[in-house]
């Protein structure tokens, strides 16, 4: 198993995506959200669910990548807005990842 230490990065304001090619025919996703960044477990779990759902919808568009989404910086916003902010960053990061394949 490879380490994300040597992975490529896409850095956003509140998140970072580490990725590298895998030998499988499909992408894989791991999500790490620290308690320091998002205090409420309900919000952290909602973010994970929404991102996984979006990831499943874009499986055909992505290549064979192992992707690690890191959210570790404190997000200063209302709890209802946090998932929207991170979802926008996720979509921008996926677009950047798709463009890097070309």
The predicted pLDDT at position 33 comes to: 92
pLDDT, mean of residues 64-69: 89
pLDDT over 80 at 31, yes or no: yes
Q: Name the pTM for this structure.
A: 0.83
**H or E element in which residue 87 lies:** helix 79-101
3-state secondary structure (DSSP) of residue 84 = helix
100 within domain boundaries? no
Range of the domain at 91: 4-95
Q: Domain for residue 101, yes or no?
A: no
The pLDDT of residue 100 is above 80: no
Average pLDDT over residues 37-66: 87
Domain count, the chain: 1
- HEC profile for 34-76? CCCCCCCHHHHHHHHHHHHHHHHHCCCCCCCEEEEEEECCCCC
């Amino acid at each position: 198993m490879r380490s994300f230490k040597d992975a490529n990065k896409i850095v956003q304001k509140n998140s970072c995506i580490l990725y590298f090619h895998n030998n499988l025919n499909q992408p894989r996703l791991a999500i790490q959200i620290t308690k320091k960044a998002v205090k409420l477990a309900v919000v952290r779990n909602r973010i994970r669910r929404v991102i996984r759902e979006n990831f499943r919808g874009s499986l055909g568009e992505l290549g064979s990548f192992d992707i690690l989404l890191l959210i570790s910086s404190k997000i200063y916003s209302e709890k209802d807005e946090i998932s929207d902010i991170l979802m926008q960053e996720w979509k921008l990061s996926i677009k950047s990842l798709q463009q890097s394949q070309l």
